[in-house]
Amino acid sequence: MDMLLEVENLKKSFGGVQAVDDLSFVVQEGSITGLIGPNGSGKTTCFNLISGLLRPDAGSIRFAGREITSLRPSWIARLGIGRSFQIPAPFTRMTVLENVMVGAFSRTRSLGEASRLALEVLEFTGLKEKRDELAANLTTADRKRLEVARALSTGPRLLLLDEVIAGLNPTEVLGAMELIRAIRARGITVFMVEHVMEAVLPLCEWVIVLNFGRKIAEDTPDRIVRNPAVIEAYLGERFRARS
């Protein structure tokens, strides 16, 4: 497998806080890779750097062999990185279909074609019935789905999912996991930030763990859960609290 995303020595600080500190990792093409870590460990900052919403202080990001560090977010999106937001950011006074069409504009110059592409994505993500609803009227679960749909509509090779599972009820979690697997089955690489371990562990082939902006481990899920550094930093408290 090829390396689709290569991050090298990435650094970003806010004031005195080092949010991402000398971070390097790769995401394999065709994989589902997880990015986990305690709150404030720099996961979302890392996503914001990759998708171009923040400029790194140092380091480089390469996508499919191409340098994308400090490109504008819209360019990065057009190059093939789709991204969903942790707090859903729909275009509230537009319909579900229109929301997804906006993403499809990067693939076509015709409005009719954009609408056809958007419908296909809506069908795939299970939102087709709600296509004429205003995004403002959607439930939380549907808003998260809409986030994924809009990101998919740009025709990405790599999809960055920022906590699309957290906050869903158990049935919805299963649905979301199924969707993520289906996305990968379409040949789209998935790179996901997630808090819900019950979802990350069965989904991902590879997991990267951050703490205080640094990578403390990366491995397969079954080995990650046995990694002492990870248990110490993150899993420990959670699993101990559960059992």
Considering the complex, state which of residue 24 and residue 74 has its C-beta at the smaller distance from other proteins.
74
Which residue type does 133 have? Answer: E
CA distance linking residue 4 with residue 218, whole number of Å = 17
- Three-class SS state of 1: coil
CB 126 within 8 A of CB 142: no
Part in contact with other proteins (CB under 8 A); list of ranges 93-101, 119-127, 165-173, 209-217: 93-101
Residue 53 binds other proteins, judged by CB under 8 A: yes
Q: Do 23 and 214 contact (CB within 8 A), yes or no?
A: yes
Q: Which of 153, 152, 202 is nearest to 177 (CA)?
A: 202
Determine the size of the site formed for other proteins (CB under 8 A).
32
89 counts as binding other proteins under rule CB under 8 A:
yes
The one segment of 27-35, 101-109, 180-188, 220-228 that binds other proteins by CB under 8 A: 101-109
Stretch that binds other proteins, among 61-69, 92-100, 193-201, 232-240 (CB under 8 A): 92-100
With CB under 8 A as the contact rule, the residue among 33, 69, 86, 154 that binds other proteins is 154
Angle at 41 between CA 159 and CA 83, to 5 degrees: 15
Q: How far is the CB of 123 from other proteins (least distance, A)?
A: 19
Element (H, E) at 14: strand 3-14
Q: Which two tokens stand for residue 178?
A: 């199924």
In the complex, the residues that contact other proteins under the rule CB under 8 A are 51, 53, 72-75, 77-78, 83, 85, 89-94, 98-99, 101-103, 105-106, 109, 111, 114, 137, 139, 150-151, 153-154
